[in-house]
């Protein structure tokens, strides 16, 4: 799998996309779903689980990045694919660390 210099995969990059940042023909969630479907065909079940929870150089998973960005649709897509909710990054932050705006997103996800 190709990585950026900060060890981010295409899934990490997709997780940080929002409609405000980029004009896209497809939504970030659609792109995330496409990436996940492609990798699910290519990888074994164990490798796919590792791909979904892959960490970048800062220890962030795609789900944590999507959550910090407020990208609820991508969060739902990643959760359906089996992403781990309680993953901690290098600073010890999880989805449960962040204040009210992101906690509201968490309640909407559940």
44: CATH: 1.25.40.20
Residue 26 clears pLDDT 70, i.e. is over it: yes
User: What's the rounded Cα separation, in Å, for the pair 35 and 67?
Assistant: 18
Radius of gyration for the alpha carbons in the chain, expressed in angstroms and rounded: 13
Domain tally, the chain: 1
Rounded average pLDDT over 89-104: 76
2's torsion region: left (phi>0), alpha (psi -120 to 50) or beta?
beta
Residue 52: inside a domain: yes
Residue 72: inside a domain: yes
Residue 91: inside a domain: yes
Residue 4: inside a domain: no
Residue 88: inside a domain: yes
Residue 1: inside a domain: no
Nearest to 109 by CA among 77, 87, 68, 86: 77
Note the pLDDT of residue 42.
Answer: 93
- Domain membership of residue 103 as a residue range: 10-109
Note the pLDDT of residue 21.
Answer: 62
Residue 59: inside a domain: yes
Rounded average pLDDT over 42-47: 92
Residue 49: inside a domain: yes
């Amino acid at each position: 799998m190709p990585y950026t210099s900060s060890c981010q995969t295409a899934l990490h990059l997709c997780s940080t996309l929002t409609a405000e940042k980029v004009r896209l023909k497809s939504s970030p969630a659609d792109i995330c779903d496409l990436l996940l479907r492609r990798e699910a065909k290519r990888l074994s079940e164990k490798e796919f689980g590792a791909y979904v929870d892959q960490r970048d150089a800062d220890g962030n998973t795609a789900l944590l990045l999507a959550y910090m960005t407020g990208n609820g649709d991508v969060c739902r897509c990643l959760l359906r694919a089996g992403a781990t909710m309680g993953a901690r990054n290098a600073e010890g932050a999880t989805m449960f660390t962040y204040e009210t705006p992101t906690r509201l997103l968490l309640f909407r996800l559940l």
